[in-house]
Chain A
Amino acid sequence: QVTLKESGPGILQPSHTLSLTCSFSGFSLSTYGMGVSWIRQPSGKGLEWLASIWWNGNTYNNPSLKSRLTVSKDTSNNQAFLKVTSVDTADTATYYCAHTRRNYFDYWGQGVMVTVSS
């Protein structure tokens, strides 16, 4: 059974770096074809794909966030990570991680709310 759970700081100040962790079970990020993606959703708005990391270490980011995103993984501990630098209020959202195969998000975490506020 695949499960994922996001964790993060809850609230942080503008210009700081957001660090999120996705802890998962039921699959390995070293298995061929497996990936973890990050998607976010501002309150009352739609979904935005941010980034994906794959079993082979390849990463893909949404260019709309320019170079502010970094995704990484710890295969041994079944975790994936997202860092967003220089946050501002527009980064306030619920952040989801999702198990990904062929760019299909087939299992989702419950999401973690992140508020950027001074």
Chain B
Amino acid sequence: DIQMTQTPSSMPASLGERVTISCRASQGISNYLNWYQQKPDGTIKPLIYYTSNLQSGVPSRFSGSGSGTDYSLTISSLEPEDFAMYYCQQYDSSPLTFGSGTKLEIK
């Protein structure tokens, strides 16, 4: 199985701050990497697919990049609604696997 390591596991940040969450795969995944946001009530929202493609309706302050084994999600200027959990997910090979998550907290 491909292991997905997300860092940091938690990140205190301030409104308006630029933040980057990292996701490293245990082997190359050819950009087959998606990102999701989960709110405290359990609601899960897709953000980015195939490394850098923004889901329709997702604000442009979200962006994704990466290649090979290293990928990242960047939020250019934090809004109140962005404080949540974030997960990466690889689909290069089965089983599909998720990162362990990053909790974005208000500083």
B71 within 8 A of A: no
- Please pick, from B32, B44, B98, B101, the residue contacting A49 in the complex, using a CB distance under 8 A: B98
A60 within 8 A of B: yes
| Number of interchain pairs (Cβ within 8 Å) | 57
Chain A 78-118 interface mask (CB, 8 Å, partner B; 1/0): 00000000000000001010100011111110110000000
Q: Verify B46–A106 contact, CB threshold 8 A.
A: yes
11 further interface pairs, Cβ-Cβ under 8 Å (given A96-B44, A102-B91, A105-B34): A46-B98, A47-B87, A49-B89, A64-B95, A94-B42, A102-B49, A103-B34, A104-B46, A106-B49, A110-B42, A110-B43
Instruction: Supply 18 A–B pairs (Cβ within 8 Å), ascending by A.
Output: A37-B96, A46-B87, A46-B99, A46-B100, A47-B36, A49-B89, A49-B95, A49-B97, A49-B98, A60-B94, A62-B94, A96-B44, A104-B46, A105-B34, A105-B36, A105-B46, A106-B46, A108-B44
List 8 tightest A-B contacts by C-beta distance, closest first.
Answer: A103-B91, A49-B96, A47-B98, A62-B95, A108-B44, A104-B49, A46-B100, A106-B46
